[in-house]
């Protein structure tokens, strides 16, 4: 929504206000996020959360606000901000209401064209202040890039500390983590359902691996795969009605599909090798998986109705953990290269592969729902950590996380608001 | 002529489960601050601001059970070479001792737990550990143990016996354990 300010519209636009969002090597849009009026007294520093979100996306470069005191009612002097080479400006305020909730407001300005790009007002309980900041970052991201922001989404991950294993649900920046499950035995392979309300995972609490589907907000969970032997590697079909899993009930690790409510599994592929780590393509028509039918683990793809799998990875002798992007264009996975385990991304149309990291213990890649970022686990200075990376590997960020060894991230979907 | 941007004082009661913002310039002038907690949906509440939109209810699992006793004075662990699930000859007598026990006690059940060292992905290592436990189960089957007494599972790299990345520690972790339940 544009509101022209007659007082400033006479000034010429100095720089092209444009963000390039295709191709490798994104242009970063310089943006000022002025501290929100009232945030010094509020439990959360809204401007800093917004700035960190935009910076982590790799598509924005923060410009210092240098002590400017502004809010969403201000009519800022665009000349000041053009001098600082900013293309966009965000102003806002946070007010505590009589009932204990907070009123968070902001306005986004196109500095170059001196145009008001709109604003929003959110009234939230204290516990949702960070969520309000993430929604503001989404609004800004979408207005300025034309793509959907992922800052209000959630991630799941597992920590191990002092013999205790915990499955956490956190904001996409790793903050605000809440425990969904705490267990004396390992938890691996968390997988968000397409609606973002449930997590499938493998739990060893009964001293063998079994697959649960767990409703996050209520804590209610059900056993979906508890067959003889090992049950693991749950993956949701895009319609949320079916899971693919790895079962050893018929001997060896083999792939099956099963109704999300449990029941009799259907064999997907039959082999005398290890077949595991299924991952549905976005259109739900194919399943990527890992198989060592060729002698060493490689990634294959098969139609959901079964049939002849087609090999997908050809570089290197050990390729695992396929993670197809939601937009269907990319496949992230982990490759063992000279003893190190390294995150790769393949452009599916061309088969071109890019190595994304300098680290050597990368695991468990998962795409953001806008297909622009990948979260993965790795080791930094000997400690396990969660990182996000842009698809060109150029902008990386370390996520905040709960203490203890941290691993197994899965990025949740966009959720209905 | 400068168009005034009118920002009104607004307190909004949120619709349950929905916290989409309201456009600043569309908001009518209303002050509901005295009544905002009355009749509100589940998304808002009285007191300290009410429940959040993204709540998680925790589930806590207690301690896992202990193993039952098996044959006395018989080792329970079979070790494997790197990238291998072949049972080495030095473990044959161990497998024979457990097999004898199970044939003599047909109501006892055993779980063979396969493990790997720390190198490699978690799910692929789960499958490698499964190969090891199934190799032990097959050996027991060849010695006449009935199939329904033996379950083969895997812990992959999730429960190392020894911490450390040196070869000595990794050798301790490449194993299958005979666990009476």
pLDDT tens-digit map of A247-297: 999 999 999 999 999 899 999 999 999 999 999 999 999 999 999 999 999
| Structure tokens, A161 | 């500390």
| Structure tokens, A233 | 């590697």
Quote the domain boundaries for residue B25. Answer: 1-50
**Chain B residues closer than 8 Å to A99 by CB:** 33, 36-37, 46-47, 49
**Chain B residues closer than 8 Å to A408 by CB:** 122
* Residue B3 pLDDT greater than 70, yes or no: no
Domain check: are B33 and B107 in the same one? Answer: no
**Chain B residues closer than 8 Å to A185 by CB:** 61, 64
Judging by DSSP bridges, how do beta strands A275-280 and A266-267 pair with one another? unpaired
Domain check: are B125 and B38 in the same one? Answer: no
Domain check: are B93 and B164 in the same one? Answer: yes
Number of neighbouring beta carbons within 10 Å of residue A126: 17
Whether B85 has its CB under 8 Å from any CB of chain A: the answer is no
pLDDT tens-digit map of B108-132: 999 999 999 999 999 999 999 999 9
Quick check: is B100 in a domain? yes
Domain check: are B46 and B102 in the same one? Answer: no
A229/B50 touch (CB, cutoff 8 Å), yes or no: no
Domain check: are B95 and B149 in the same one? Answer: yes
Q: What is the largest CA-CA distance in chain B?
A: 99
A188/B64 touch (CB, cutoff 8 Å), yes or no: no
Q: What percent of chain A has pLDDT over 70?
A: 93
pLDDT band at B4 (very low <50, low <70, confident <90, very high): very low
pLDDT tens-digit map of B130-141: 999 999 999 999
CB pairs under 8 A between A and B: 232
Contact (CB, 8 A) for A361 and A374: no
pLDDT of residue B26: 54
Domain check: are B81 and B169 in the same one? Answer: yes
* Residue A16 pLDDT greater than 90, yes or no: no
| Structure tokens, A31 | 């943006």
* Residue A4 pLDDT greater than 70, yes or no: no
**Chain B residues closer than 8 Å to A122 by CB:** 19, 21-22
pLDDT of residue A1: 40
> Quick one: angle between helices A46-56 and A129-145, nearest 10?
40
Last residue of a domain, one of B33, B50, B67: B50
pLDDT of residue B8: 43
Mean pLDDT (whole number) for A224-233: 98
Closest chain B CA to residue A339? B119
Number of neighbouring beta carbons within 10 Å of residue A163: 7
Higher pLDDT, A91 or A8: A91
Among B63, B122, B159, B164, the residue to mutate for chain A (most A Cβ within 10 A): B122
pLDDT of residue A273: 98
B61/A183 touch (CB, cutoff 8 Å), yes or no: yes
**Chain A residues closer than 8 Å to B22 by CB:** 120-122
pLDDT tens-digit map of A313-351: 999 999 999 999 999 999 999 999 999 999 999 999 999
Measuring CA to CA, how many Å separate B40 from each of A110, A359, B12, B48, B137?
A: 36, 50, 10, 14, 61
pLDDT tens-digit map of B8-30: 444 444 333 445 688 877 544 44
Say how far residue A397 (Cα) sits from the centre of its chain: 12
Whether B109 has its CB under 8 Å from any CB of chain A: the answer is no
CATH of the domain at B159: 3.30.1330.60
A230/B14 touch (CB, cutoff 8 Å), yes or no: no
Quick check: is B141 in a domain? yes
pLDDT of residue A14: 25
| Placement of tokens 């209303």 in the chain | B30
pLDDT tens-digit map of A121-174: 999 999 999 999 999 999 999 999 999 999 999 999 999 998 899 999 999 988
Mean pLDDT (whole number) for A190-210: 97
Give the whole-angstrom CA distance, residue B162 versus residue B159. 9
A120 → closest Cβ in B22, B51, B58: B22
Domain check: are B84 and B25 in the same one? Answer: no
Q: Provide the number of structural domains found in chain B.
A: 2
* Residue B160 pLDDT greater than 90, yes or no: yes
**Chain A residues closer than 8 Å to B155 by CB:** 186, 204, 209
Whether B29 has its CB under 8 Å from any CB of chain A: the answer is no
pLDDT of residue A12: 31
Quick check: is B46 in a domain? yes
Contact (CB, 8 A) for A155 and A364: no
Quick check: is B81 in a domain? yes
pLDDT tens-digit map of A283-300: 999 999 999 999 999 999
Which is nearest to A392 in space by CA: A336, A343, A351, A349?
A343
Domain check: are B43 and B98 in the same one? Answer: no
Give the whole-angstrom CA distance, residue A310 versus residue A312. 6
Domain check: are B90 and B155 in the same one? Answer: yes
Quick check: is B158 in a domain? yes
Quick check: is B59 in a domain? no
Give the whole-angstrom CA distance, residue A189 versus residue A204. 12
Quick check: is B61 in a domain? no
pLDDT of residue B19: 54
Closest chain A CA to residue B12? A123
Could you give all domains of chain A from N- to C-terminal order, each with its CATH number?
3-145 (3.40.50.10070), 154-411 (2.120.10.30)
Domain check: are B86 and B160 in the same one? Answer: yes
| Structure tokens, B128 | 């490698």
Quick check: is B60 in a domain? no
> Quick one: angle between helices B122-142 and B92-104, nearest 10?
70
* Residue A21 pLDDT greater than 70, yes or no: no
Domain check: are B87 and B176 in the same one? Answer: yes
Average pLDDT, chain B: 81
**Chain A residues closer than 8 Å to B154 by CB:** 209, 230, 248
**Chain B residues closer than 8 Å to A229 by CB:** 130, 151-153
Closest chain B CA to residue A187? B158
Domain check: are B89 and B173 in the same one? Answer: yes
| Structure tokens, A346 | 């393949």
Give the whole-angstrom CA distance, residue A122 versus residue B24. 10
pLDDT tens-digit map of A361-411: 999 999 999 999 999 999 987 889 899 999 998 888 888 766 678 999 999
B124/A290 touch (CB, cutoff 8 Å), yes or no: yes
Contact (CB, 8 A) for B52 and A131: yes
| Structure tokens, B60 | 């806590």
Residue A224 in 3-state DSSP?
A: strand
């Amino acid at each position: 929504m544009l509101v022209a300010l007659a007082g400033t519209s006479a000034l010429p636009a100095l720089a092209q206000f444009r963000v390039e969002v295709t191709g490798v090597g994104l242009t970063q849009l310089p943006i000022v996020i002025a501290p929100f009026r009232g945030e010094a007294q509020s439990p959360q520093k809204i401007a800093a959360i917004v700035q960190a979100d935009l910076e982590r996306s790799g598509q924005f470069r923060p410009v210092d606000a240098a002590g400017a005191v502004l809010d969403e009612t201000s009519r800022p002097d665009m000349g000041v901000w053009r001098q600082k080479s900013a293309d966009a400006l965000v102003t806002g305020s946070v007010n505590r209401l009589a009932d204990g909730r907070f009123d968070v407001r902001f306005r986004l300005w196109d500095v170059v064209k001196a145009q008001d790009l709109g604003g929003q007002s959110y009234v939230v309980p204290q516990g949702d202040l960070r969520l309000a900041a993430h929604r503001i970052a989404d609004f800004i991201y979408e207005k300025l890039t034309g793509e959907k922001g992922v800052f209000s989404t959630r991630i799941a991950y597992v920590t191990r500390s002092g013999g205790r294993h915990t499955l956490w649900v956190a904001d996409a920046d790793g903050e605000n983590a809440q425990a969904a499950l705490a267990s004396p035995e390992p938890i691996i392979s968390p997988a968000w359902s397409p609606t973002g309300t449930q997590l499938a995972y493998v739990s060893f609490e009964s001293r063998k691996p079994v697959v649960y589907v767990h409703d996050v907000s209520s804590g209610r969970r059900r056993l979906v795969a508890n067959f003889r032997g090992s049950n693991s590697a749950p993956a949701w079909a895009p319609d949320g009605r079916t899971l693919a899993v790895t079962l050893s009930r018929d001997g060896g690790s083999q792939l099956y599909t099963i109704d999300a409510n449990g029941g009799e599994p259907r064999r997907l592929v039959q082999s005398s090798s290890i077949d595991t780590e299924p991952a549905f393509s976005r259109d739900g028509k194919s399943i990527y998986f890992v198989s060592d039918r060729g002698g060493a683990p490689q990634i294959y793809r098969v139609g959901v109705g079964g049939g002849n799998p087609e090999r997908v990875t050809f570089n290197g002798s050990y390729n695992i953990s396929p993670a197809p992007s939601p937009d269907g264009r990319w496949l992230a996975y982990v490759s063992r290269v000279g003893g190190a385990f390294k995150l790769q991304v393949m452009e599916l149309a061309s088969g071109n592969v890019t190595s994304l990291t300098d680290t050597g213990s990368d695991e468990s890649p998962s795409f953001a729902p806008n297909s622009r970022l990948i979260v993965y686990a790795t080791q930094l200075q000997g400690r396990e950590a969660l990182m996000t990376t842009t698809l060109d590997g150029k902008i990386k960020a370390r996520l905040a996380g709960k203490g203890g060894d941290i691993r197994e991230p899965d990025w949740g979907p966009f959720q209905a608001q | 002529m400068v168009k005034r941007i009118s920002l009104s004082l607004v307190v909004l009661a949120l619709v349950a489960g929905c916290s989409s913002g309201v456009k600043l310039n569309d908001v009518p002038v209303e002050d509901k601050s005295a009544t905002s907690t009355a009749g509100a949906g589940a998304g808002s509440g009285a007191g300290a601001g009410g429940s959040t939109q993204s709540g998680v209810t925790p589930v806590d699992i207690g301690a896992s059970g202990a193993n039952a006793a098996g044959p006395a004075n018989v080792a329970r662990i079979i070790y494997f070479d790197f990238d291998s699930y072949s049972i080495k000859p030095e473990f044959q007598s161990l497998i024979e001792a457990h097999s004898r026990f199970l044939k003599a006690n047909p109501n006892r059940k055993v779980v063979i737990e396969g493990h790997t060292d720390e190198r490699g992905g978690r799910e692929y290592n789960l499958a490698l550990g499964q190969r090891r436990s199934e190799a032990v189960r097959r050996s027991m089957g060849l010695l006449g143990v009935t199939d329904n007494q033996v379950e083969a599972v895997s812990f992959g790299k999730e429960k190392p016996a020894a911490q450390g990345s040196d070869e000595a520690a990794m050798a301790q972790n490449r194993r299958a354990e005979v666990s009476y339940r």
